[in-house]
Each structure stands twice: as structure tokens, then as C-alpha cells.
């Protein structure tokens, strides 16, 4: 099996799974309980929060645990909207945000907020001049993802942060779900106020994530009823998920230092070999993209047909975001980047992890060529 769908989810590390079982069986008490068992669990969560804060080079009091990227993005955006609606109802984001950001913007539009969706260039990047031009006296939030989940484009987060430093009443939220563990981001240096991370994107467990909220920033909670997470996110904490997320974060950072260059070599090899196939158009620009995501289109074929044909060969890739892959619409990201519809419908995404190898990449190229040859023959015979 060749698994090249790591942006959808990653296989949990064995160490993560084993630790989760141990914690869930030995430290099962509610951390809010007054007895000693609850105190032990509370201490585990406290240690995990501190470890994560150290990895992100922020304060432990700025880390809030969530169920993952979708909740983190919703909490950051809706929490800001609820908190500051009396100040203004204008939010800026890009045309190619993840659905959990984009659809949150659409929902807020129905509640009277104005959302400005910034255009992107052919590489999928926003223009910082467009962003600054879009700011009004009503603007309360800018939400821009760090690494695009479909084509891998890295946004100029540091530049945006410098601009927004001149607008102290505007909060800056970054969806860092695809970037963490692959593309470093200094949250303080980039002047980020809110940042979302999800554990299952770096070999942690599904249903776990965090929201960084810079000290002094106020947002309204979406879940109320308890005092957990500083009253920002009520609900009994997922102790096993939280502790193992800290473990996965430590491990992925070690892998980044050990295998970062190899990951880039594999991605570049795939881009070079795929680019030699006449039928293929590359939709990822390697000079502005993360080292683990590659998007291409097979012109004349449909992306989902290629995905299923590769699946029969035990090769696993995807078309667009896993959150949108079962929808019949063409990729909003590719269309926003100017990719024609007939090209966008043949799009396929490869997403790598540090566990992938060059041998897998070479085998993938051979399989892809065979699959395309077979599918093209079927297309010709059907005409």
C-alpha cells in the first residue's frame, strides 16, 4: 500500500496509540473532580499544555484545547464576531480558505456580517496590498490560512501580520492546520492573535486540536456550561487526546528536523516526473508551496476516476480537501487560482508525510502512468 493522502489524515504513531490506551485506562478520572484521581489527570493536562506551549514558543495560558481544526476555526471566527459585533461587522478572508473558515463566513453573512473574500493569483497567493485596501473602520478580523490544503500554497503570513500590527483593533487568525510540522511559523513574530492546529494532521488522534489565543485577546465562547479551558471551551477534557497530541507534536518536530530535506526531495521528484507526462498540468508552484502537497490535473479525465483507479492498485490519493471530496462541485481553490473548469475537473492531490519514501514515489509514478494509459484507452473505446 502507498498512502499519499496525509493532508486528509495521517496514521497515528504507535507511540501515540499506546500512550492513549495507557492514559485512558489508568488516568480515566474527570480532571474537574476534587479527589486525588481527578487531580492527577488535571496535572497531566497541565503538563501537556506546557509542553505544547514550549513547542510553539508561547505561554501555556495561551493554549486552549478543542476537538480539532473545524472547531478551532469556528471558535476563532465566531468568537471574535460575537465579542466585537458592536465594534464592527466586517471580516476579511481569502477565496481559498478551508470550508470550516469559508462556510463560517457565509453563515455570518446571513447574520448581518460583511465578508470580504480576497482574490488569489495563479499560485493561490493573496496580495497583501489587496488585504490592506480591503480594511475598513468596521473590520474586526482577518482570517488567512498558512498552507492551503489543496495546492500547498504558503501565504505571506508574516507580511500580513506586520500590516495588521498597525491596526490594533483588528484580530489576526491563522488556520495553521496544514502548516504545523511542515512549515515553521513564529506566532509572536507574525503578530498572530488566534491560531488553529489539529492533531490528526501530524500523526495524533482525530478529535483533538488546539486554539492559540494571544494573551489579552478576548473572544466569546461557543460552548458554555462549565469552567474548562478558562471558560472558553466548556466540556470534560479529552485527557488521552490532549496528552498524546503533545507527544505527536514533539515527534513531528523531531521528524521535521531529521527528514525535512528528504520530504522535499520526494515532492520535487514527483513534480518533475509527473510534469513530464503530456496529459498532466501541475497546479502547485513549488517555489511558494509547502513540501508535502502536490496538486495536478489529468486533462480529459475526472479526478475521482483517477483516485478510484489508483485505489484498485492500493495507492491512495484524493481529489480536493477530504471535507469536500464527496461533493460534486469543482475545487473552489483551483477555480479561484484561474484554473479552467475542464482542467479543474481532472485534479488530484498528493499529500506526503515523513513516513513516505522515495521508493514509494517511484512506484507511484509507474502506477500513475499505467492507470492513465488504461483510462485513456477506455475513453477512446467508449467514443
Residues noted as catalytic:
323
Tell which residue, 334, 355, 90, has the closest CA to residue 203.
Answer: 355
| CA atoms of 49 and 88, how far apart (whole Å) | 33
Cα–Cα distance, 77 to 220 (Å, whole number): 10
- Does residue 57 come out as left (phi exceeding 0), alpha (psi in the -120 to 50 range) or beta? left
What DSSP letter does each residue of 227-250 carry, written as one string?
A: -GGGGTS-S---HHHHHHHHHHHH
Starting at the edge strand that comes first in sequence, how are the strands of the sheet with 347-351 ordered? 280-282, 293-298, 347-351
Residue 155 near residue 144 (C-beta atoms within 8 A): yes
Beta strands (DSSP E) in 67-205 are 90-94, 114-118, 139-143, 171-175, 194-198
> Torsion-angle region of residue 204: left (phi > 0), alpha (psi -120 to 50) or beta?
beta
Per the structure block, which three cell numbers stand in for 107? 453563515
Cα–Cα distance measured from residue 11 to residue 181, given in angstroms and rounded to the nearest whole number: 15
Edge-to-edge strand list for the sheet holding 90-94: 63-66, 209-213, 194-198, 171-175, 139-143, 90-94, 114-118
DSSP per-residue codes, 244-267: HHHHHHHHHHHHHHHHHHHHHHHH
Q: What CA–CA distance (Å, rounded) separates 91 from 131?
A: 11
DSSP element (H, E) containing 76: helix 69-84
Beta bridge partners of 204: none
Phi and psi at residue 139, to the nearest 5°: -70, 130
Q: Are 82 and 219 in contact (CB under 8 A)?
A: yes
Amino acid at each position: 500500500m502507498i498512502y499519499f493522502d496525509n493532508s486528509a489524515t495521517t496514521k497515528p504513531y504507535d507511540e501515540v496509540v499506546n500512550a492513549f490506551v495507557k492514559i485512558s485506562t489508568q488516568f480515566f478520572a474527570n480532571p474537574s473532580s476534587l479527589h486525588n484521581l481527578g487531580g492527577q489527570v488535571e496535572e497531566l493536562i497541565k503538563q501537556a499544555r506546557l509542553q505544547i506551549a514550549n513547542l510553539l514558543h508561547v505561554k501555556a495560558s495561551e493554549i486552549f484545547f478543542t476537538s480539532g481544526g473545524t472547531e478551532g476555526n469556528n471558535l476563532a471566527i465566531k468568537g471574535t464576531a460575537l465579542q466585537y459585533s458592536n465594534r464592527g461587522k466586517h471580516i476579511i478572508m481569502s477565496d481559498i480558505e478551508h470550508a470550516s473558515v469559508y462556510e463560517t463566513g457565509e453563515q455570518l453573512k446571513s447574520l448581518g456580517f460583511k465578508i470580504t473574500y480576497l482574490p488569489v493569483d495563479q499560485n493561490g497567493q493573496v496580495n497583501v496590498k489587496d488585504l490592506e485596501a480591503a480594511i475598513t473602520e468596521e473590520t474586526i478580523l482577518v482570517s488567512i490560512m498558512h498552507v492551503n490544503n489543496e495546492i500547498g500554497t504558503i501565504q505571506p503570513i508574516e507580511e500580513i501580520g506586520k500590516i495588521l500590527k498597525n491596526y490594533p483593533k483588528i484580530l489576526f487568525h491563522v488556520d495553521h492546520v496544514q502548516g504545523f510540522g511542515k512549515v515553521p511559523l513564529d506566532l509572536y513574530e507574525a503578530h498572530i492573535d488566534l491560531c488553529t492546529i489539529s492533531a490528526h494532521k501530524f500523526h495524533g488522534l482525530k478529535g483533538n486540536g488546539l486554539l492559540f489565543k494571544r494573551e489579552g485577546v478576548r473572544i466569546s465562547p461557543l460552548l458554555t456550561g462549565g469552567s474548562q479551558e478558562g471558560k472558553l471551551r466548556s466540556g470534560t477534557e479529552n485527557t488521552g487526546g490532549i496528552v498524546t497530541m503533545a507527544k505527536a507534536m514533539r515527534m513531528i518536530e523531531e521528524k521535521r528536523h531529521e527528514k525535512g530535506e528528504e520530504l522535499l526531495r520526494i515532492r520535487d521528484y514527483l513534480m518533475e516526473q509527473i510534469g513530464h507526462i503530456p496529459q498532466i498540468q501541475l497546479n502547485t508552484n513549488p517555489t511558494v508551496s509547502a513540501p508535502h502537497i502536490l496538486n495536478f490535473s489529468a486533462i480529459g479525465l475526472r479526478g475521482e476516476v483517477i483516485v478510484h483507479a489508483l485505489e484498485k492498485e492500493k495507492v491512495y490519493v484524493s481529489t480536493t480537501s477530504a471535507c469536500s471530496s464527496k461533493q460534486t462541485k469543482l475545487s473552489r481553490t483551483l477555480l479561484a487560482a484561474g484554473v479552467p473548469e475542464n482542467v479543474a475537473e481532472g485534479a488530484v492531490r498528493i499529500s506526503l508525510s515523513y513516513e513516505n519514501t522515495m521508493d514509494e514515489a517511484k512506484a507511484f509514478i509507474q502506477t500513475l502512468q499505467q492507470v492513465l494509459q488504461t483510462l485513456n484507452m477506455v475513453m477512446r473505446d467508449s467514443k
